[in-house]
Amino acid sequence: MQMNPQILDFLLSILLTISGLIIGVLFGMLKAKARAERQKDKAIENGMRCLLREKIIEICDRCLERGFVRIHSLESLGDLFEQYKALGGNGTAAKLIEDVKKLQVKEGGKIIIGDNSGFNGVYIYCSLAVNNGVEQPYMHYVGGEMTVQAIHDMHNNDKKSNYNGIAYNAYVDLDGTIYWGRGLEYQGGGTLSSLGLNPIAFQIVANGNFNRRTMPEAQKNAIIRLARDVAEYYGITNIKGHREVGDTDCPGRNYPLDEIRNAILAKEEQAMPDDFQVRNFVNRMYVNVLDRTPDRQGYSDWVNALMTRAVTPKEAAYGICFSNEELLKREATEEFVDELYRGLLGRKMDAAARDTWIGGLYKNLSREDVFNGITDSEEFKAIEKQMGF
């Protein structure tokens, strides 16, 4: 029996309609599932980025707190940051890692000697005597021109003297680059051993032969800066050249020993802050941030604190900007930023600032972030300098 063509067409049209509906439903379900999977993947990605960021910050904080970084920590930070960066991270973590890279690097009994621009250095593979305190920095010279690596190799190969690697605590190159040798943590070795001075000495060697040449200003200033920090750290008031304690001409006839020693031990007289500028700053903060003329007691307290350097201008400004009085005003975002500009910088907020700070506050910045951004700017630092800070 042959089916009526009209009935057949009708059945086919129904079948096609049902198939289309089924396909549409299935496609919608697949699309919804794919969207859900993408959202899930995004959530996992964000979570992984947060976990990596927290781990990076944890390692960096630990290294910065103790003042050095171990090799395995540096390697871990590199691996973690590569993953973090691949997930779209950067910002604070990158800055912290750069700060960690400036630290002395060591691993167990090893020390890496390298400048602050990287970690290409030399290794000391030995157990070094721990430095229990420094009483005097001693100045040496190389007696020629040798890199820190060359000195390390020379000392490491000198089996008779048993230096076990570079004997100096620090090396200063002709261009003023400072390299840590045994650093603050370990005793120097070598030239002062026979005098029994290694346990109390911080030994700084300058590259160059200062019987034949004069010292470049960059090198001299770097030695002053380094030795001054060591002297202040240990409370030292006595700086000596090697020739002053041993039978030697080290650190050389042309080594500016007296000039360096006087510069290290000189106490800089701090000028008083500018009274007019300080008073103007405090008054401006009250008028623009707190929207009132200063009360006598509060005004006097802030001025005295600044004039005696008990607080910095940034600390005083923070005390006013985040005081209970200011917080209770519950100001709108734009009004808050405008008050910071008028109070901290003495001017109106410009268009660029509006885009940066107000836009940032509506995204992920806190009000303290905005305050720190303004007070860390070169413009605010110039105002601090005008006040004598």
pLDDT for 55-97, tens place per residue? Answer: 888 888 877 766 667 666 777 788 788 888 888 777 777 888 8
Most confident of 64-78, 194-208, 211-225: 211-225
Give the separation between CA 142 and CA 128, rounded to whole angstroms: 22
17-38 per-position pLDDT tens digit: 777 677 767 777 777 676 766 6
Lowest mean pLDDT among 10-14, 127-131, 335-339: 127-131
Decide if pLDDT at 124 tops 60.
no
Q: In the chain, count of helices (H) and strands (E)?
A: 15, 9
Mean per-residue pLDDT for 211-224? Answer: 85
pLDDT at residue 382, as a whole number? 92
* Mean pLDDT over the full length of the chain: 75
Mean per-residue pLDDT for 170-182? Answer: 79
pLDDT at residue 163, as a whole number? 66
pTM for the model: 0.41
pLDDT at residue 282, as a whole number? 92
In this structure, the dihedral spanned by the alpha carbons of residues 75, 78, 84 and 85, taken in order and rounded to 10 degrees, is -170
- Other CB atoms within a 10 A radius of the CB of residue 295 amount to 11
Using pLDDT thresholds of 50, 70 and 90, give the confidence band for residue 281.
very high
Give the separation between CA 71 and CA 103, rounded to whole angstroms: 11
**Angle subtended by helix axes 91-100 and 5-66, to nearest 10:** 30
Decide if pLDDT at 12 tops 80.
no
pLDDT at residue 139, as a whole number? 62
Nearest C-alpha neighbor of 140 from the set 190, 200, 182: 190
* Burial grade of 333 (CB within 10 A; 0-12, 13-18, 19 or more): middle
Lowest mean pLDDT among 103-117, 205-219, 344-358: 103-117
Decide if pLDDT at 372 tops 50.
yes
pLDDT at residue 36, as a whole number? 63
Give the separation between CA 278 and CA 2, rounded to whole angstroms: 107
Contact 162, 210 (CB under 8 A): no
